[in-house]
Structure 1
Amino acid sequence: MSRTRSHEIFQRALQLMPGGVNSPARAFGGVGGEPLVFERGEGAYLIDVDGNRYIDYIGSWGPMILGHGNEQVRAAIHAAVDQGTSFGAPTERENTLAELIIELVPSVEKVRLVNSGTEATMSAIRVARGFTGRNKIIKFAGNYHGHVDSLLVAAGSAAATLGVPNSPGVTPGTTADTIVLPYNDPAALAAVFEQHGDDLACVIFEPIVGNMGTVIPKPEFLAAIRELCTKHGAVMLMDEVMTGFRVALGGAQQLFGVTPDLTTMGKIVGGGLPIAAYGGRADIMNHVLPAGQVFQAGTLSGNPLATAAGIATLSILKETNPYPRLEQLGERLMTGLAKAAADAGAPYSVARVGSMATLFFGAGTVVDWDTAEKSDTERYADFFWGLIDRGVYFPCSQFEALFISVTHTDEDIDTTIAAARASLQA
């Protein structure tokens, strides 16, 4: 399988961009070698610049739940382009997308559109602090909430992959009010609330972690967050940038029956274009300028192209209810991968919720960052390249979730399992 053009383009990129990429998650730091350079996507497939075709399980790190190049989404974008690309003024599509979000996400009464998941979490924390008049926040080790200074502490995702959980350039002052706790540990959370309850503005968390690999929350952990936030007047801030519209139409909060005070959304909400949102209780959201005094703004927020893509994507999900089929595909894939790993004698564990999953190499169930970091990352790297050579594109890190789209077929899944079996036995 030739990758000559990918190599040439990446070598040029190294001279133009730091590390040759515009996001470290693309750098292959967790598996070695050079990243592939892609030319186009078609349904469940990606085609690189050398003409190699891969079954794609990244889906642009989550947004492409409808597959690449969905006709209805493309048509919506084309129609929006014909009317102009940005106005810096209100459009009706902003209302339409906001109405869809409020309809579909149980806890959201009002919403603000922004441009990225990072911007959403940054803004939501500011609102939580403005609403409560408090400074301290709680986050959990291995949860990644974007490259916000106050949250880039014990982060997962690319920071974990590259071994830089605390970034240079983040000053002690910006993280002084951030308390980091182990995920899935209600006792540790209760102890901090006991000590700092009156000073805590919010608890921000991933309801299903995707940035140290897929990690599933314990019911008692979610219940503790809700109970303690309510008792102490802190804001429960659920980061559904990854899980929103992915694990259920109403996100993880609908799936688990948990009602947060604020929610951040991204990825699927824009159907592959750069848009995100934060929203929640009206009394909290009414603190955002111009209704309130908490400042947040953005020139391209609610961009006409992104809102068009988001409306089309959420409308399709609402009308077609693909989640039972995605559940079937996820079960078929991960059952097959688990059997392939077992037959190869590779210690492993599997974590999956719907169409979001991880195959961990290493003994024991992964429940937090301490257990995740014990994974055999070298074995994963060998596995990853074995799949690449067999036409399957998996996450380029043990600490990233894979995603399945509605365009994947049973044949795609079976081909992937066969490729995994061959890679593990090579």
Structure 2
Amino acid sequence: MNMSADISTNAYSISAWPDYPDLMGRLNALLKQPVRGIARQNMPQVLDYFEQKCKTSKALAERAKEVIPGGVQHNLAFNYPFAIAAAKVDGAYMWDEDGNRYIDFLQAGGPTILGSNYQPVRQKVHEIVESCGPVTGLLHEYEIKLAEIIRKYMPGIEMFRMLGSGTEAVMGAIRLARAHTGKKWVIKVGGDYHGWSDQMVYGMRVPGTGRREAHGIPKGSTAYTQEVFPNELGSLRRKLMLNKIRGGTAAVIVEPLGPESGTRPVTPEYNREVRKLCDEFGALLIFDEVVTGFRVGMGGGQGYFNVKPDITVFGKAITGGYPMAGGIGGRKEIMMTLAGGIGGKGGKRAFVGGTLSANPLSCVAGYYAIEEMARTGAPVLAGRAGDRLTAGLKEIMNRLGLPYVVYNMGSIVHLQTSAVLLMSMRNPIKLMREADARKHLMEEMGAAYLSRGILTLAGSRIYTSMADTDDVIDDALNRFEDVFKLV
């Protein structure tokens, strides 16, 4: 794929929004069918790959279990039958400790839109480490430059404050919304993932589950957190009306593409309607752009949908894959409630901290990653790769008569083989009976992709990058077809 010189920095990676009724019809049809995965007689050859080709990874995975709970530090590293240990990443590829090469559609969970370990950014990071070190505790010019370049491209941002992760940013954004409005209720969409802070471990992944995963979290921590089912504006209105007589809603927080980066996609008008409801009831609108920020375009989801949130949450992509990646942006009048410093000046303040937040290394990485994304048109190029991959996967699955569903929002590609992420508490019996089998099917498909040299996120999500040329995508399609012939 040759970079076009006329790519606009205002262009978006999503060339067309999925046909919502058609897509949901196909996803619901998949959910109604019995699970259909790798044939039992073919799974031994899939698993044999790991036994024969991934011996170092297996040994490291066994060693990790002795000192790390569950054997992995973060959920992205979980793979069936065991975690694969990375040794090298470059552009579109990742190599494991045994020297096996994979087409890297994980891309560190989404932030490396330029491709992994992008050399121009890496060079700037090396330079700042040599001259200044990774952290000083003082103000650095690149803190300002990073805030300025974010403000340049993100429509809803006048001021920006850096934090350490997306989870921290969500914590800070909710605290900011409550401090600024003087209200306490926060409404999220069931299935949305907004990090692992106490108040947000609520209705995660499966709508309607409330505190199901809130082990170790006191009930008081989620006492003012509510969830509504995806795309149900009537339910959101009723919650806002009820909250109005109970002190009011501080904020509604959404993933602009829909829960889990569009695993449950929203309708094209959803965000606009949520904006109207927030305005009507005096609630702040928070966009969680941890994944979508810069990935769907330089203006993120807010630019694509032409909806200005009051507060924007960043993570991952804000530093292009480098650590300490998180932040909060928004209107000046709101953001000033988040002013840093020691003590107060008589006004209310939402307190946040973090010794390593806005360190020189992360700010330099973020500034140059965003600058390079704009210069190269990386979100658009990554989106074109996603379009090409999606079209190719559809053709293969139709030709082989498979019931699977693939769709994309630019460079975020969803490959649904089990539909486990479409289940909800609206049908608890089905959830209890089928969730484990559907989840295991997804794990087996992920293992089969790995055995054919394709690295995905949990066997169901793919992030394309600027490094995914036509040749890379064509190679990937051949490998996917090899897997689908095992079904």
Report the 3-state secondary structure (helix = DSSP H, G, I; strand = E; otherwise coil) of the residue aligned with 2:109.
coil
Equivalent of residue 73 in structure 1, options 112, 115, 121: 121
Gaps of 5+ in 2: 1-48, 342-347
Residue 365 of structure 2 is matched in structure 1 by 309
* Structure 1 residues 347-394: Cα deviation after superposition (integer angstroms, max 9, x where no partner): 222231110110112589969897997884444333222211111111
Could you tell me the TM-score, scaled by structure 2's length?
0.81
1:230 aligns with 2:279: yes
The residue type paired with residue 314 of structure 2 is M
1:406 aligns with 2:466: yes
2:160 match: secondary structure: strand
Report the CA distance shift for 1:210/1:60 in structure 2 as closer, same or farther (over 3 A).
Answer: farther
Larger Rg over CA atoms: 2
What is residue 284 of structure 1 aligned with on the other side? 334
Q: Which structure 1 segments of 5+ residues have no match? A: none
C-alpha distance 272-370 of structure 1, shift in aligned 2 (>3 A): farther
Matching residue of 2:170: 121
- Post-superposition CA distance 1:92-147 (Å, at most 9, x none): 11000010111111000111100100000000000000001111100111100000
Count of residue pairs the alignment pairs up? 417
Partner of 1:322: 378
Q: Does the residue aligned with 2:167 lie in a helix, a strand or coil? A: helix
Quote how far apart the aligned CAs of 1:402 are: 1.6
Rounded to whole Å, the distance in 2 between the matches of 1:89 and 1:411 is 46
**Counterpart of 2:345?**
none
Identity %: 33
* Paired letter, 2:118: N
Instruction: Give the counterpart of 1:390 among 452, 476, 486.
Output: 452
RMSD across aligned C-alpha pairs, in angstroms? 2.4
Q: Which amino acid aligns with 1:385?
A: A
Cα deviation for residue 208 of structure 1 reads 1.3
The answer to whether residue 173 in structure 2 is matched with residue 173 in structure 1 is: no
The answer as to whether partners of 2:104 and 2:456 remain within 8 angstroms in 1 is yes
**How many angstroms does 1:343 deviate by?**
2.8
Q: For residues 308 and 485 of structure 2, what CA distance do their matches in structure 1 show?
A: 45
2:212 & 2:483 partners in 1: Cα distance? 30
Normalising by structure 1, report the TM-score: 0.92
CA 1:384–1:213 in structure 2 vs 1: closer, same or farther (change >3 Å)? Answer: farther
Distance 2:109 2:168 in 1: 17
User: For residues 318 and 185 of structure 1, do their structure 2 counterparts lie closer, same or farther at Cα, with a shift above 3 Å needed?
Assistant: same
Higher deviation after alignment, 229-238 or 281-290: 281-290
Q: Deviations over 1:212-257 (max 9, x none)?
A: 7633321332122101111111110000011000001110110111
Deviation at 1:320, TM superposition (A): 1.8
Q: Which residue of 2 aligns with 1:220?
A: 269
Distance 1:22 1:143, change over 3 A: same
Match of 2:409 in 1: 353
Change (3 A) 1:141 1:204: same
Separation (CA, whole Å) in 1 of partners of 2:93 and 2:99:
12
Which residue in 2 is equivalent to 1:132? Answer: 181
Moved more, 16-25 or 249-258: 16-25
How do 1:179-328 residues align onto structure 2 when only pairs under 5 Å count? Answer: 179-197=226-244, 198-209=247-258, 211=260, 214-274=263-323, 275-290=325-340, 292-328=348-384
- How big is the shift at 1:306? 0.7
